[in-house]
Amino acid sequence: MNKKFRKPAAGFVNQLLRDPEVRVHFEVERARTELAAAVRAARQRAGLTQAELAKKIRTSQSVIARIESGTDQRTPSLPMLAKIAEACRGHLEVRFTFPKAA
């Protein structure tokens, strides 16, 4: 590939993210990925398998696996997330973050 035509990915991504619709989709996917990682980390910290966590919150292991994969288009409800947090001996926090003023 000719170096003359290469562009850094960050610049390309930043350009795409200027579009409000693209930005919303990006933020939803980022949140879904972070949520999946948080559920997996909480479960592992509690020393539970997916099956054990599922039993504690009265769902199936496959539901836990889908949440932890981050690829399921369904977002778990707040009550489901609160049950997961309680079963893992934690609590659920939901918050918004804002950029710092310049």
- Residues 57 and 80: their CA atoms lie apart, in Å, by 8
Using CB atoms within 10 A of its CB, is residue 92 exposed (0-12), middle (13-18) or buried (19+)? Answer: middle
CATH number at 9-87: 1.10.260.40
Cα 96 versus chain centre, distance = 14
pLDDT digits (tens, 9 = 90+) for 83-99: 999 999 999 999 988 98
Is the pLDDT assigned to residue 75 strictly greater than 60? Answer: yes
Is the pLDDT assigned to residue 100 strictly greater than 80? Answer: yes
- The per-residue pLDDT for 102 is 63
What is the model's pTM? 0.79
Delimit the domains of the chain by residue range: 9-87
In the chain, % of residues over pLDDT 90: 61
Owner of token pair 């999946």: 36
- Residues 4 and 1: their CA atoms lie apart, in Å, by 9
- The per-residue pLDDT for 56 is 98
Q: Could you give the 3-state DSSP secondary structure of residue 101? A: coil
